Amino acid sequence: MTSPIRLAINGASGRMGRVLLDLARGDARFALRAAVVGAGAEPVGAPVGGVEAPGALRYSAGWAEAPPLDVVVDFSTPAGLAAALDHCESHGIALVAGTTGLDAALEQRLQRAAGRIAVLRSANFSLGVAVLTRLLRQAAAALPGWDLEILEAHHNRKEDAPSGTALALGRAAAAARGTTLEAEAVYAREGRPGARRAGSIGFAAVRGGDIVGEHTALLAGPGERLELTHRATDRAIFARGALAAAAWLAGRAAGAYTLDDVLMADA
Ligand SMILES: NC(=O)c1ccc[n+]([C@@H]2O[C@H](COP(=O)([O-])OP(=O)(O)OC[C@H]3O[C@@H](n4cnc5c(N)ncnc54)[C@H](OP(=O)(O)O)[C@@H]3O)[C@@H](O)[C@H]2O)c1
């Protein structure tokens, strides 16, 4: 694309949304055209950036007044993502979706939408996690008899558990072992759950303070163990990855894309 990409941020008042707004406003690849927040959210109608001026971009609740767009970047809530998806589908706009904790119905809607618009989803937009996923696929396949546990830690306001990233890691490892997460996942243990079932993939979630996001894939064999860990210390990594994905996705044909597609293009 030659002219700046017309961009909307959905969930613009959230932790991720605020970082995305800061980065996008200083990024010459983009023309920021909409900052969408939940209905009744505090900043509705206020100018983005805080400076009153005629024609200033303002936070909006919903999509009714949205201008023409090339791409929407969504880090909001499942309901917020569903509303953005409606708008993108009916106007042929590409969608980068970062929201996690979706139910099966919304997962299916996103898959169907990829028949009509370009949709790029990732449970984790960091480069380090993309590489961790590749390393885990290798390790899970090379050590098939070892017990695999996925541990994650996040801030105390996170609503879903295990994290979307932990589930994506589990899915990647299960596929590398020729099975599925549905068949192997163990999400909770308490009381007397009995001995660990061979081949299962266990999850543990820690919540506290302002932890941005930590994931460890622990592979335990007889007499040794391997731990692959990623620690995010700054949410800007997710925002940078999502904006790189948006720049790559704008103008593409309909389809379901992943962060790997963007990384391969850069490789
Ligand atoms: N894929 C990744 O790399 C990645 C990285 C980090 C986070 N995430 C995910 O991204 C999502 C947001 O994370 P966060 O930490 O930024 O959460 P957050 O701080 O709670 O922000 C979510 C924002 O969405 C707003 N919202 C609610 N309903 C909305 C609607 N209908 N339309 C538009 N906006 C709406 C909320 O506004 P109100 O507070 O006013 O309701 C809130 O400001 C979560 O699902 C999180 O797990 C993904």
Mean pLDDT of 39-67: 92
Query: What per-residue confidence (pLDDT) applies to 2?
Result: 72
Instruction: Tell me the three state secondary structure of residue 185.
Output: strand
CATH 1.10.1660.10: does it fit domain 127-232? no
pLDDT band for 192, please (50, 70, 90 cuts).
very high
Question: 3-state SS string over 35-52?
Answer: EEECCCCCCCCCECCCCC
pLDDT band for 10, please (50, 70, 90 cuts).
very high
Has 87 been annotated as catalytic? Answer: no
Mean pLDDT of 246-257: 98
Query: What per-residue confidence (pLDDT) applies to 260?
Result: 86
Domain boundaries, the chain: 5-121+235-266, 127-232
Has 230 been annotated as catalytic? Answer: no
pTM comes to 0.88
**The token pair that represents 97 in the structure block:** 């979706």
Tens-digit pLDDT profile for residues 102-130? 999 999 999 999 999 999 999 999 989 99
Mean pLDDT of 72-101: 97
User: Are the beta carbons of 76 and 63 closer than 8 angstroms?
Assistant: no
Q: Which CATH architecture has domain 5-121+235-266?
A: 3-Layer(aba) Sandwich (3.40)
Residues with a CB atom less than 6 Å from ligand 1: 10-11, 13-17, 36-38, 41, 75-77, 79-80, 83, 98-101, 122-125, 238
**Could you tell me which residues are annotated as the binding site?**
11-16, 42, 98-100, 122-125, 155, 164-165
- What atom in ligand 1 is closest to the CA of residue 101? 45
